[in-house]
Amino acid sequence: MNPVDVAGLPVGDGHPPRIMGVLNMSVESNYDPSTWGDVDGAVDHAERMAAEGADIIDVGLQSSNPKNPWQAVDTELERLERALEVVDRADCDAVWSIETRYAEVADEALARGFDMVNDVCGFADPDMPDVCEKHDAAVVKMASPPDIQSPGHLRSIDDCFAALARGGFTEKTIIDPAFGGWYDEKTYEDNWEMFRRLREFRAFNRPMLTATNREDFLGEIADRPDTEDQLAVSLAAATMEVERGADIIRTHDVPETADVAAVADFLGDRRAIESGPAAHEGEDEAGVHAAELTGVTPREVARNTALREHDGIDPAEAVTLTFAAGDLPAAAHEELMTVGGEHGLLVASGDAGDTIPADEVETAADESEGGQGDSPAGEGTFVSGTLAAYEDALPELSGRPGLEALARAIREAIDREQL
């Protein structure tokens, strides 16, 4: 993920996930704990969030909730004056973000103290990219139709992906897939599907912001319909967002979210390498970076190849799927080994009667024979291969006694992972 410098705060690969605290200064905003009509209260709230772990404070001038009417640019400009007073008075080191859909508001805010823009209409105002580039400011581009009055009014992941691609990016653009319910166009099911496939947005190779805090589509899962009861589900989601590629977590609950994001980052699978300057004599590789992408599906590979030139390899030949099966009958195991060998599937299965002494466990692991000390050696069956190999092998596995469950799992994965 190409890192972005946000007013001196690096965001992206090689850096911890950043926490964006919400500070609403619009009277129509629906979540009271983050809404402040008076400057004194807003200053206190901003300082508290920064002390609790907010790297960025996102100041909203109007609600993007579809339940509330949209506000014209003059209303935002009027409210901006109070927001600028908060920026001037607050004693904190956080980056200041202005949430707006208007280039005119962004220009004024960036000129007078704000550091970045959170554009909830995804460049619906065509002047927004030029304004942000003029100020050398980072900008969040939320997936949205080209309609200044309809932030986020999209449904499917494909719609969101296309909206982000439309109109291009600045050098410092951060993407936001746009979770939430927008005039009933995006259902809980749509949000769940996009969440499961969040990694696909890594194809843009840009830092990603997620904003799912206290969203009803999370509360529905745990039967927590009321906003005030949705902290736990929000924190659970935040850990997975970090794991799936989010670089900024936007939240009303700063200290709790900062804690879970730190744990998810430290113990998760985010792996990045950034070169030092002049790795070889005569070469300057400062800023070169690489990252291992985990949990990659054929659909994510296809997203990447659709956005850039590639060598023509079929995504089905490039991505590995892995399954585990247990209690296979001996005959089924032998058939699986035969079919796997014929179609390029790796099949590893231990005899439950064999054991590996404890002092040989490390050697056995090095030899990829698995096992635990004085326990059945590799009990169960491990199968791994490309999507294409599974597609070739599936007709021979289907209907075989003892292999029905494995064949069904493979079939479901193929249906899920294919384009």
CB-count burial class (<10 Å; 0-12, 13-18, 19+) for 399: exposed
Amino acid code (one letter) for 352: A
CB-count burial class (<10 Å; 0-12, 13-18, 19+) for 336: buried
Q: Name the phi and psi angles at 233, rounded to 5.
A: -65, -35
Same domain (yes/no): 10, 99 = yes
What string of H, E and C letters represents the secondary structure of 290-337? EEECCCCCHHHHHHHHHHCCCCCCCHHHCCEEEEEECCCCHHHHHHHH
- The DSSP H or E segment spanning 236 is helix 231-243
Same domain (yes/no): 232, 103 = yes
- Between CA 410 and CA 414 the distance in angstroms is 6
Same domain (yes/no): 325, 250 = no
- Predicted TM-score (pTM) of the model is 0.85
Same domain (yes/no): 91, 173 = yes
How far does Cα 392 stand from its chain's mean position? 32
Does the residue 153 lie in any domain?
A: yes
Q: What pLDDT does 357 receive? A: 47
Secondary structure letter of residue 199 according to DSSP: G
Residue ranges making up the domain that contains 383: 315-417
- Between CA 266 and CA 258 the distance in angstroms is 12
Half-sphere exposure of 351 (CA within 13 A, CB side): 5
Does the residue 186 lie in any domain?
A: yes
CB-count burial class (<10 Å; 0-12, 13-18, 19+) for 327: exposed
- Between CA 199 and CA 222 the distance in angstroms is 23
Q: What pLDDT does 419 receive? A: 53
Q: What pLDDT does 285 receive? A: 53
* Cα 354 to Cα 327, 330, 373, 375, 418, distances in angstroms: 15, 15, 11, 8, 39
Same domain (yes/no): 61, 120 = yes
Does the residue 401 lie in any domain?
A: yes
Nearest to residue 291, comparing CAs of 304, 276, 275, 303?
275
Q: What pLDDT does 360 receive? A: 47
Nearest to residue 251, comparing CAs of 132, 242, 115?
242
Q: What pLDDT does 272 receive? A: 62
Does the residue 193 lie in any domain?
A: yes
Q: Name the phi and psi angles at 218, rounded to 5.
A: -85, -45
Same domain (yes/no): 30, 153 = yes
Q: Are strands 9-11 and 4-6 parallel, antiparallel or unpaired?
A: antiparallel
Same domain (yes/no): 191, 323 = no
- The DSSP H or E segment spanning 384 is strand 381-386
Neighbours of 360 (CB within 10 A): 15
Strand partners, 10: 5
Does the residue 70 lie in any domain?
A: yes
Same domain (yes/no): 110, 210 = yes
What's the token pair of residue 117?
């823009």
Same domain (yes/no): 48, 159 = yes
Secondary structure letter of residue 7 according to DSSP: T
Q: What pLDDT does 377 receive? A: 36
Does the residue 293 lie in any domain?
A: no
- Between CA 228 and CA 295 the distance in angstroms is 33
Does the residue 302 lie in any domain?
A: no
Strand partners, 381: 325, 349
Does the residue 305 lie in any domain?
A: no
Same domain (yes/no): 25, 146 = yes
Count of structural domains within the chain: 2
Ordered mean pLDDT values, 10 residues apiece, the chain (419 residues): 90 94 81 70 94 97 80 94 95 96 98 97 97 98 93 91 95 96 78 96 94 95 95 98 96 97 90 52 54 82 84 82 86 91 87 45 42 44 90 92 91 78
Same domain (yes/no): 319, 238 = no
Helix (H, G, I), strand (E, B) or coil at 60: strand
Domain of 194, CATH number, reads 3.20.20.20
* Cα 22 to Cα 27, 30, 39, 63, 111, distances in angstroms: 14, 12, 15, 12, 21
Same domain (yes/no): 10, 110 = yes
Domain final residue, candidates 233, 268, 303: 268
Letter string b/e over residues 227-256, b meaning 16 or more CB atoms within 10 A of that residue's CB: beebbebbbebbbbbbbbbbbbbbbbbbeb
What's the token pair of residue 308?
């850039």
Domain final residue, candidates 268, 303, 338: 268
